[in-house]
């Protein structure tokens, strides 16, 4: 996939199931932080608030990933993430098992607090 210029362009290049799942994630993120600016950061769809990137996502071959753009967020919420595969700055999930809205809200709230 070539470098996307917008979130819409990124999503257009995905398989339908992945696109639907990530469009829903995008909509949920916007509902949690309506003032966040949509952008592309590190070639992925992302959201910037007060000049700092606070969330991003990608589709991989076998999973979807959410990026809080902070390893500290993942560490802080480790107990809440036990149902998902994680690494230092990534939370992996599937089309069939998306991130719950309550968890997404917690991830974003934690990340915003860190960035301020």
- Structural domain boundaries in the chain: 7-115
CA angle, corner 20, sides to 95 and 28, nearest 5?
90
92 vs 113: CA distance, rounded Å: 22
Length of the chain: 116
Domain 7-115 in CATH 3.90.1150.200? The answer is yes
Q: Work out the percent of the chain whose per-residue pLDDT is above 70.
A: 98
Structure pTM? Answer: 0.94
31 vs 1: CA distance, rounded Å: 28
Q: What is the mean pLDDT of the segment spanning 41-67? A: 96
CB atoms within 10 A of CB 73: 26
- Half-sphere exposure (CA, 13 Å, Cβ side) for 66? 32
Q: Cβ(69)–Cβ(56) under 8 Å?
A: yes
């Amino acid at each position: 996939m070539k470098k996307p210029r917008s979130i819409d362009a990124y999503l257009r290049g995905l398989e339908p199931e992945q696109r639907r799942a990530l469009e829903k994630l995008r909509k949920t993120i916007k509902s949690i932080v309506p003032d966040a600016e949509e952008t592309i950061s590190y070639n992925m769809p992302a959201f910037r608030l007060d000049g700092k990137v606070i969330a991003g996502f990608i589709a991989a071959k076998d999973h979807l990933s959410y990026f809080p753009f902070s390893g500290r967020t993942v560490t802080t919420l480790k107990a809440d993430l036990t149902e998902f595969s994680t690494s230092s700055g990534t939370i992996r999930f599937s089309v069939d098992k998306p991130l719950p809205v309550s968890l997404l809200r917690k991830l974003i709230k934690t990340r915003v607090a860190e960035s301020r």
